């Protein structure tokens, strides 16, 4: 460790224990084991040491900050997932001894040090509250909380409680066990946030239930509309859903719909494919949400609900073919990590779109294996065109290549 790093660390320790005003340059030099004049080779003054400490604190607290775009995806999974992800990141950072000491310095000195008082008002409180306001506004857009709620008041009510818990630990109850405090901080903050969220959340009347025979046409039409002209001219996923119900690979007890205001807005299927060393293995899909209800968390509810059922049924793992950025939030990872590949793909390279969620790791033997979809996933275009006659006409979009 360089002398500058030693000066930085010892200053943090001394400021935290005795207060900024009560510590002199001479004391810092003595603690580091250098001459007092040597400190000026690295810092112009005691205040410049403080400036660097404050800059370091903000940098560390924000360098892994979840951007709004990522926060939006986390909200799509569930509010609990979104909040716990942020809370774990915060408590993990705060648990570092250096950060604990700096937090104590900031809270103590904010009462009489004008520089730190301004730092707390601007860099800590104002910045954080504005961030929470932005997130609560996003929650309004996603129809998670009521449109008439005051997002500024919500943000302040949440953030000020967390600030109080820090003051209680670092000042009122000091010294107190840091590890125990962090556990309490997480639990109390989570309970407080749930209390606030419950007071403003929109009571969703969406209902997840098993698909039944009377749903078949409505579901097929929903699947057709959801996939139409997305991956190819027209769609064939609705024919797969139709054929799957009559096939031995179909898992009827995992075919669910999500219903809202009396109509089906989402659907999910699971079926059994073939894996070299296990014979049968489950794959998720097709899954879809009505275009008018996408990006509101309904897909995540449906996927999350059915994955819990799979785990309870003692199934070792489940596969999916899809967007790795989307499915990663549910615990899916590249199947090639486990030496498993999708039939027809290159087995020498990673296939990020072919993913697995493992519930029982002891069931994976890491031998190279090939997974094959049910045969009915391979559809004939003529069969699709014939099946489409049952539905309202939709124009296919053809792409031209220059």
Burial class (CB within 10 angstroms; exposed 0-12, middle 13-18, buried 19+) of 318: buried
Q: How many CA atoms lie within 13 A of 169 on its CB side?
A: 23
Please indicate whether residue 317 or residue 83 has the higher confidence score (pLDDT).
Answer: 317
The DSSP letter of residue 269 is E
Q: What's the chain's Rg over C-alpha atoms?
A: 28
Place of tokens 């967007």: 323
Is the pLDDT score of 205 beyond 60?
yes
Is the pLDDT score of 73 beyond 70?
no
pLDDT at 217: 97
pLDDT at 68: 60
Q: What is the pLDDT of residues 137-149, one digit of tens each?
A: 988 887 789 999 9
CATH number of 207-388: 3.40.630.30
The helix/strand count (H/E) of the chain reads as 15, 9
Name the 3-class secondary structure at 320.
Answer: strand
Q: Average pLDDT, stretch 17-25?
A: 95
Q: Find out whether 31 and 10 touch, Cβ atoms under 8 Å.
A: yes
Q: Find out whether 347 and 257 touch, Cβ atoms under 8 Å.
A: no
The DSSP letter of residue 201 is B
Could you tell me the CA-to-CA distances from 378 to 224, 236, 288, 383 in Å, in that order? 16, 10, 19, 11
Could you tell me the CA-to-CA distances from 205 to 127, 208, 370, 385 in Å, in that order? 35, 10, 42, 36
Residues 6+ apart with CB under 8 A from 94: 100, 103, 182, 185
Q: Average pLDDT, stretch 154-182?
A: 93
pLDDT at 155: 94
Domain boundaries, the chain: 44-200, 207-388
Place of tokens 């489940």: 318
Q: Average pLDDT, stretch 328-332?
A: 94
Please indicate whether residue 205 or residue 51 has the higher confidence score (pLDDT).
Answer: 51
Same fold, 44-200 and 207-388: no
Is the pLDDT score of 391 beyond 80?
yes
Q: Find out whether 79 and 197 touch, Cβ atoms under 8 Å.
A: yes
pLDDT at 249: 96
| 285 backbone φψ class: left, alpha, beta (φ>0; ψ -120 to 50) | left
Q: Find out whether 315 and 359 touch, Cβ atoms under 8 Å.
A: yes
Is domain 44-200 given the CATH code 1.10.357.10 in the classification?
A: yes
Q: Average pLDDT, stretch 232-238?
A: 95
The predicted model scores a pTM of 0.59
Is the pLDDT score of 402 beyond 70?
no
Q: What is the pLDDT of residues 362-384, one digit of tens each?
A: 888 888 899 999 999 999 999 99
The three-state (H, E, C) secondary structure of 331-370, written as one string: CCEEHHHHCEEECCCCCCCCCCCEEEEECCHHHCCCCCEE
Judged by average pLDDT, the poorest of 91-100, 194-203, 233-242 is 194-203
pLDDT at 398: 87
pLDDT at 52: 97
Is the pLDDT score of 204 beyond 80?
no
At 392, give phi and psi (nearest 5°). -60, 140
Is the pLDDT score of 276 beyond 60?
yes
- Which percentage of the chain shows pLDDT scores above 90? 77
For residue 39, give the nearest of 69, 2, 75, 74 by alpha carbon.
Answer: 2
Give the strand pairing for 279-289 and 317-321. Answer: parallel
228-234: long-range contacts, CB 8 A cutoff, minimum separation 24: 228/394, 229/396, 229/397, 233/396, 233/397, 233/398, 233/399, 234/384, 234/388, 234/394, 234/396
Is the pLDDT score of 203 beyond 90?
no
For residue 374, give the nearest of 278, 237, 276, 271 by alpha carbon.
Answer: 271
Residues 6+ apart with CB under 8 A from 277: 365, 367, 369
Cα–Cα distance, 128 to 132 (Å, whole number): 6
pLDDT at 78: 67
């Amino acid at each position: 460790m360089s002398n500058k790093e030693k000066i930085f660390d010892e200053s943090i320790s001394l400021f935290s224990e005795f207060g900024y005003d009560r510590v002199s340059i001479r004391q810092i030099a003595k603690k580091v084991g250098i001459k007092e004049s040597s400190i000026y080779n690295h810092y112009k003054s005691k205040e410049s040491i403080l400036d660097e400490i404050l800059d370091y604190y903000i940098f560390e607290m924000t360098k892994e900050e979840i951007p709004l775009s990522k926060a939006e995806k986390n909200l799509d999974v569930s509010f609990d997932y979104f909040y716990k992800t942020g809370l774990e990141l915060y408590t993990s950072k705060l648990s570092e001894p250096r950060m604990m000491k700096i937090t104590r310095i900031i809270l103590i000195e904010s009462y009489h040090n004008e520089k730190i008082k301004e730092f707390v008002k601007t860099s800590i409180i104002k910045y954080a509250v504005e961030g929470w306001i932005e997130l609560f506004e996003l929650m309004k857009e996603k129809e998670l909380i009521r449109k008439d709620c005051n997002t500024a008041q919500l943000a302040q009510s949440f953030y000020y409680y967390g600030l109080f818990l820090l003051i209680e630990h670092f000042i009122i109850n000091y010294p107190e066990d840091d590890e125990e405090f962090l556990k309490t901080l997480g639990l109390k903050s989570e309970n407080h946030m749930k209390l606030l969220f419950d007071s403003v959340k929109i009571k969703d009347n969406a209902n997840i239930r098993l698909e039944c025979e009377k749903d078949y046409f409505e579901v097929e039409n929903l699947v057709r509309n959801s996939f139409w002209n997305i991956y190819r001219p027209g769609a064939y996923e609705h024919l797969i859903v139709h054929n799957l119900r009559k096939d031995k690979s179909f898992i009827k007890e995992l075919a669910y719909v999500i219903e809202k205001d009396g109509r089906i807005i989402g659907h999910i299927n699971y079926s059994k494919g073939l894996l070299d060393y296990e014979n049968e293995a489950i794959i998720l899909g097709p899954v879809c949400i009505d275009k008018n209800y996408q990006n509101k968390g309904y897909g995540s509810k449906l996927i999350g609900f059915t994955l819990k059922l799979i785990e309870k049924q003692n199934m070792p793992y489940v596969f999916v073919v899809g967007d790795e950025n989307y499915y990663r939030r549910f615990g899916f990872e590249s199947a090639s990590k486990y030496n498993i590949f999708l039939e027809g793909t290159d087995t020498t390279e990673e296939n990020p779109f072919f993913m697995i969620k493992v519930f029982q790791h002891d069931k994976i033997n890491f031998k190279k294996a090939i997974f094959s979809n049910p045969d009915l996933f391979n559809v004939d275009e003529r069969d699709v065109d014939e099946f489409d006659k049952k539905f309202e006409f939709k124009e296919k979009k053809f792409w031209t290549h220059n």
